[in-house]
């Protein structure tokens, strides 16, 4: 059964002389197929795993972001978007074909990005998190 999402718009501003960053989240009212609902439910469960920092799920009309540290929301969103963009550029540059998934490991964290049914998913984890164990929970998708 499809579920309708409601439009949401938020803005944050500060009362200081310096312009504050503005965070805006907009969701367009669309019907979500049951598979997208299952995907979101699996990601919410996955977010409870040890070592998972959070996730970003986005498609052409909306995005769902669930992070344990919302202060870094913009940093994670830029990282996720850049990973997808660069994977496309590298794929074209080196004639690699279609990119199935991306794993970036940094000094303190790692991000695993993939596309499932047109939904771009980025899962952020602590450096020492067991990536395979975390992804086994996502497998039923």
Q: Which of 140, 126, 105, 131 shows the shortest CA–CA distance to 54? A: 126
pTM of model > 0.85: no
**Residue-wise pLDDT tens digits, 106-138:** 999 999 999 988 899 999 999 999 888 888 887
Tokens, residue 115: 């596309």
Instruction: Please indicate, yes or no, if residue 4 is contained in any of the structural domains.
Output: no
pLDDT of residue 129: 92
pLDDT of residue 3: 43
pLDDT of residue 140: 54
How many domains, the chain? 1
Q: What is the mean pLDDT of residues 32-41?
A: 71
Does residue 64 sit in helix, strand or coil?
strand
CATH number reported for the structural domain that contains residue 111 in this entry: 3.30.450.30
Run of H or E residues at 63: strand 63-67
pLDDT of residue 137: 80
**Residue-wise pLDDT tens digits, 48-94:** 889 999 999 999 899 999 999 989 999 999 999 999 999 999 999 99
Instruction: Please indicate, yes or no, if residue 105 is contained in any of the structural domains.
Output: yes
Instruction: Please indicate, yes or no, if residue 39 is contained in any of the structural domains.
Output: yes
Instruction: Please indicate, yes or no, if residue 72 is contained in any of the structural domains.
Output: yes
Instruction: Please indicate, yes or no, if residue 44 is contained in any of the structural domains.
Output: yes
Which one has a higher pLDDT value, 127 or 4?
127
pLDDT of residue 139: 65
Instruction: Please indicate, yes or no, if residue 66 is contained in any of the structural domains.
Output: yes
Residue 59 belongs to what domain range?
A: 33-138
| Residue 109: partners with Cβ closer than 8 Å, 6 or more residues away | 53, 124, 125, 126, 127
Instruction: Please indicate, yes or no, if residue 23 is contained in any of the structural domains.
Output: no
Instruction: Please indicate, yes or no, if residue 27 is contained in any of the structural domains.
Output: no
The gap between the terminal CA atoms of the chain, to the nearest Å, is 17
């Amino acid at each position: 059964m499809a579920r309708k999402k409601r439009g949401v718009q938020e803005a944050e501003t500060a009362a200081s002389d310096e312009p504050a960053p503005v965070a805006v989240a907009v969701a367009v009212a669309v019907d979500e197929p049951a598979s997208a609902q299952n995907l979101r439910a699996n990601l919410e469960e996955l977010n409870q795993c040890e070592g998972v920092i959070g996730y970003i799920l986005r498609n052409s009309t909306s995005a769902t972001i669930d992070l344990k540290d919302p202060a870094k929301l913009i940093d994670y969103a830029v990282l996720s978007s850049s990973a997808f963009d660069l994977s496309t550029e590298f794929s074209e540059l080196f004639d690699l074909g279609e990119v199935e998934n991306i794993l970036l490991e940094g000094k303190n964290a790692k991000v695993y990005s993939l596309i499932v049914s047109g939904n771009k998913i980025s899962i952020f984890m602590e450096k020492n998190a067991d990536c395979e164990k975390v992804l086994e929970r996502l497998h039923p998708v």
